[in-house]
């Protein structure tokens, strides 16, 4: 799974106003969240399901991952970002 590009304009306002380093760190946290959710989606999809087989299986799994993590994500990135600040 490839990590989708993260637009700076989609980041929370407090992150954007915190500066370049904060933006880089938050994007890294979002990238990790995307990767983790992608692995979870792949492990949940069985070979017998429509998401696990066929020529578009990988694309469907990636699309599901993107849908789950788009916007503000699932909240994991915010927690990771906070830990990076400590």
Interval 3-30 mean pLDDT: 87
DSSP string, 3-62: PPP--GGGS-HHHHHT-HHHHHHHHHHHHHHHHHHHHHHHHHS-TTSTTTSSTTHHHHHH
49-86 pLDDT, tens digit each? 766 777 888 888 888 888 888 766 788 999 999 999 87
Percentage of the residues of the chain whose pLDDT score is greater than 90: 31
* pLDDT at site 42: 84
* pLDDT at site 75: 87
d(CA 68, CA 74): 7
Domain boundaries defined on the chain: 11-85
* pLDDT confidence band for 3 (50 / 70 / 90): low
- Rounded to two decimals, the pTM is 0.76
């Amino acid at each position: 799974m490839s990590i989708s590009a993260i637009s700076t304009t989609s980041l929370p306002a407090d992150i954007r106003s915190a500066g370049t380093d904060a933006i880089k760190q938050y994007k890294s946290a979002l990238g990790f969240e995307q990767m983790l959710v992608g692995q979870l989606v792949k492990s949940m999809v069985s070979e017998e399901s429509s998401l696990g087989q066929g020529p578009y299986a990988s694309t469907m799994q990636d699309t599901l991952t993107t849908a789950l993590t788009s916007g503000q994500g699932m909240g994991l990135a915010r927690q990771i970002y906070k830990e990076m600040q400590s």
